[in-house]
Structure 1
Amino acid sequence: MSHMKYFMQRRKRLLEHMTRLDYSLILITDPSYIFYFTGYHSALGAEWGRPELFVLMQNGESYLITPSMEEEMANAQTDLTQVIPWTDGLDNEWRKPLSQLLSKADSERLGIDYLKIPRVVWDFIVEHKNQNNIEDICPIVESMRMIKDDYEIQIARHTGEVAVAMLEAAMEVAAPGVYEFEVSLAAERAGTYKAAELMKKYYEEDEPFNYPNISNHQQIMAAGKLTTMCHHRAGMTQLKHGEPLFICHCGAVSFKGFYLGFDRTLFVGKGNEEVSRLLNIAEASQKAALSEIKPGAVAEDVFSAYAEVIQSAGYPIPFRAGRSLGFSVNGAPQLAKGDQTILKEGMIFAVDGGADGQNYRTQVGDSILVTKDGYEFITPFTKKHDELIVY
């Protein structure tokens, strides 16, 4: 697979950090981190009682310790030094190969994804190594993941195409009397076909690991007065004429493992004056945030511009102005108060605006790529209210 070079490059950069910090071994357990460095898509994990472990040694050797049922797939998806299989209940499972690798560590200093590691793995490590010599590498990994490489940017743009196709399909189906879940099913179907189209055109060499079906996460969707519930899921509520329909794609769309943010508030049948007024504020707050985004900007300043619009209109701040995106639904930096990260070209964010009223809440969100002189929309879609009326 030609994209394998990107995973190799990421491991090489991690090894440079490892050498600088004199770590003899780095252990990573988080599925999104493992994918970022190896290309391995896991179906299991600690929640199944089956931890999966990526180990990088100071000499550059790399290992994936995984359940034996995943061995064939892991070998096909990665180009590591060795995939080490283990079987449930036999020969001390994953502990035996991990202890062998720990014993090879030349120095006492280890790096682990401390905020991600399952407790059962942590307890095993501190039985073998001095806890005082174990350091958290999550800040290093997060800093690496902030700037996207060419492969990630390509996937992000394609994820945006999938999300837009999903919203277009939702708008075609949405009508008075239609259930929320029916709108969600239409969006999922359209997104899956768009993903399959893109995979066939751009990623044929990845077979048989192209997975077009849109993710297992339930679609965030709320109709009418339920819009005041920020993360309501698509359910049995029927759409009503003159009422809003909020659709959020956060977590609901994942293409090649990449997540993004994309939200719109729609109008069923006709406009709604109260909703339109709130939506104007949401859109203005997002516009203010976007006006700050460029290389050299401070993350907190993006939030401040967004917050000023909402508070000046007399409404409470509903949430942060946005977050970093990638192979997990949420990353660093955050477009939030207190985050002093300097924005750089190649970062990807979800940038949101919102306003919470007594009867309704409105939200608008897009994913953007920070460019050398500003930003690029990854989810280009209309915000004109008359074009957001369905049925």
Structure 2
Amino acid sequence: MKDLLRVEKFRQKIESSGKIPYLISDMGDVLYLSGFTGSIGYILITEGENIFITDGRYEEQCKIELKGSWRVEIVSSYKEYFEKLRELFHKLYVTDKLPLNLYLDLSKNVDLVVDDFSEIMQMRMIKDDEEIQMIKNAYQIAADAMMNSLSGFVFGKTEREWAAILEYNMKLSGADKESFDTIVASGYRGAMPHGRASDKVINIFEPVIIDYGSKANYVSDITRMVYMGNDSEVLDNLKIISETVDYCIDLIMPGEICSEIYQKSKRYLEKYNLDEYFNHGLGHSIGIDVHEKPSLSKYDDTIIKEGMIFTVEPGIYFPGKYGIRMEETVLVKKNGCEIISSVLKDRLLKL
């Protein structure tokens, strides 16, 4: 029933700031406010009503999932429905996630006001107890899947085969689907931070990045390494990246600024002359979506608050050779962090 409280809280916020009527189109926002898990739906908050708009495929689902005083509009044509909206409203507030085609269509007759730092985004930054439990559940699913997959991770198989084993076990462990396309990047392909699993055969002596996650309403996102070789440079860099993760986690607490955490992570790697090989943000929030705001990045000056959740994933990448990334996820508490991803203890997996 938390979603019922959320939509009323959202209504109070937009009423107090004069942002009515308000149209919500992003499915993550729709799920957050309504509990609806279908693939398409819109929420329209007017002065007197909370209106949920979808089509006939989801009529029965709405009866099950929508609680409280929703007026459900089952439409046969979204285009015709939004044409009626153009007649009803002269001004409409929307988030910056509104699809371009709908923006262009509605803006023909309606003054659209883009709420680019929307109340709903600010609400989603702070996770409530129910959300935290669902995120922890997604991490437990991912951890169980990994432990059940290790025996199938045989050298000589392809990255795609390793990914398929892991994804299969995530489904068996309770995932609805993967949080994102599973990354298995071995050897030289590890130098691509988002190197999705390919047909490359995995060699026993090369580092392997495995970045994956499960989605069960809410998501998980974990990165672990496999390395069976004895190259001293690789072993040293594995140790440095693991220490960088720990160092950054210790920095995250209420009152700190996201961009400053990122800058400190760069300076930490600079001690080892590795900062130039770290070419992405330090981390991001997760929840319903795998990339939520705020982020631990150069350009995000959000002040960290209790109840926020962040990934911490420093990585270094050597073109043509290999890459190393390790990732934990933390829940910000009053005096520090709880490491949610510790359900999968080892950052360097043992096969």
Q: Give the TM-score normalised by structure 1.
A: 0.82
2:161 and 2:264 mapped to 1: Cα distance? 37
The aligned counterpart of 2:241 is 282
What amino acid maps onto 2:124 in structure 1?
A: R
- 1:84 touches 1:97 (CA, 8 Å); kept in 2? no
The aligned counterpart of 1:334 is 295
- The share of aligned pairs that are identical, in percent, is 22
CA separation of 1:227/1:384 partners in 2, compared to 1, >3 Å: closer, same or farther?
Answer: closer
What amino acid maps onto 2:54 in structure 1?
A: T
What amino acid maps onto 2:168 in structure 1?
A: R
Instruction: Indicate whether 1:227 and 2:190 are aligned.
Output: yes
Instruction: Indicate whether 1:110 and 2:92 are aligned.
Output: yes
1:31 and 1:355 mapped to 2: Cα distance? 34
The aligned counterpart of 2:324 is 362
The aligned counterpart of 1:154 is 133
What amino acid maps onto 1:57 in structure 2?
A: T
2:107 and 2:186 mapped to 1: Cα distance? 50
Of residues 31, 45, 54 in structure 1, which corresponds to 2:43? Answer: 54
Q: Structure 1: any 5+ residue segments left out of the alignment? A: 45-51, 88-92, 196-211
Deviation at 1:26, TM superposition (A): 0.6
- 1:34 touches 1:54 (CA, 8 Å); kept in 2? yes
> Where does 1:96-107 land on structure 2 (aligned, <5 Å)?
96-100=80-84
2:10 and 2:238 mapped to 1: Cα distance? 44
1:217 and 1:187 mapped to 2: Cα distance? 13
Q: Structure 2: any 5+ residue segments left out of the alignment? A: none
Instruction: Indicate whether 1:18 and 2:14 are aligned.
Output: yes
The aligned counterpart of 1:261 is 221
Deviation at 1:102, TM superposition (A): 6.0
> Where does 1:194-273 land on structure 2 (aligned, <5 Å)?
194-195=173-174, 212-215=175-178, 217-249=180-212, 252-256=213-217, 258-268=218-228, 270-273=229-232
Deviation at 1:64, TM superposition (A): 1.7
CA separation of 1:242/1:182 partners in 2, compared to 1, >3 Å: closer, same or farther?
Answer: same
Instruction: Indicate whether 1:374 and 2:333 are aligned.
Output: no
- 2:6 touches 2:33 (CA, 8 Å); kept in 1? yes
The aligned counterpart of 1:301 is 260
Deviation at 1:148, TM superposition (A): 0.4
How many pairs were matched up? 346
Q: Which digits, 9 at most, give the CA deviation of each residue in 1:52-71, with x for residues without a partner?
A: 32111122x21121122222
Deviation at 1:138, TM superposition (A): 4.6
Deviation at 1:216, TM superposition (A): 7.7
- 1:284 touches 1:353 (CA, 8 Å); kept in 2? no
Deviation at 1:175, TM superposition (A): 2.3
Deviation at 1:194, TM superposition (A): 2.1
Deviation at 1:31, TM superposition (A): 1.0
What amino acid maps onto 2:47 in structure 1?
A: Q
- 2:179 touches 2:220 (CA, 8 Å); kept in 1? no
The aligned counterpart of 1:323 is 284
CA separation of 1:137/1:243 partners in 2, compared to 1, >3 Å: closer, same or farther?
Answer: closer
- 1:349 touches 1:367 (CA, 8 Å); kept in 2? yes
- 1:281 touches 1:309 (CA, 8 Å); kept in 2? no
- 1:285 touches 1:305 (CA, 8 Å); kept in 2? no
What amino acid maps onto 1:94 in structure 2?
A: Y
Q: Which digits, 9 at most, give the CA deviation of each residue in 1:212-246, with x for residues without a partner?
A: 44338431111222211221222222221221221
1:375 and 1:356 mapped to 2: Cα distance? 28
Deviation at 1:12, TM superposition (A): 1.2
The aligned counterpart of 2:148 is 169
Q: Give the TM-score normalised by structure 2.
A: 0.91
- 2:28 touches 2:289 (CA, 8 Å); kept in 1? yes
- 1:244 touches 1:267 (CA, 8 Å); kept in 2? yes
- 1:243 touches 1:272 (CA, 8 Å); kept in 2? no
- 2:207 touches 2:226 (CA, 8 Å); kept in 1? yes
Deviation at 1:95, TM superposition (A): 4.0
CA separation of 1:352/1:55 partners in 2, compared to 1, >3 Å: closer, same or farther?
Answer: same
CA separation of 1:286/1:18 partners in 2, compared to 1, >3 Å: closer, same or farther?
Answer: same
2:328 and 2:232 mapped to 1: Cα distance? 23
Aligned CA RMSD, in angstroms, stands at 2.1
What amino acid maps onto 1:136 in structure 2?
A: D
1:294 and 1:378 mapped to 2: Cα distance? 15
The aligned counterpart of 2:78 is 94
1:109 and 1:218 mapped to 2: Cα distance? 39
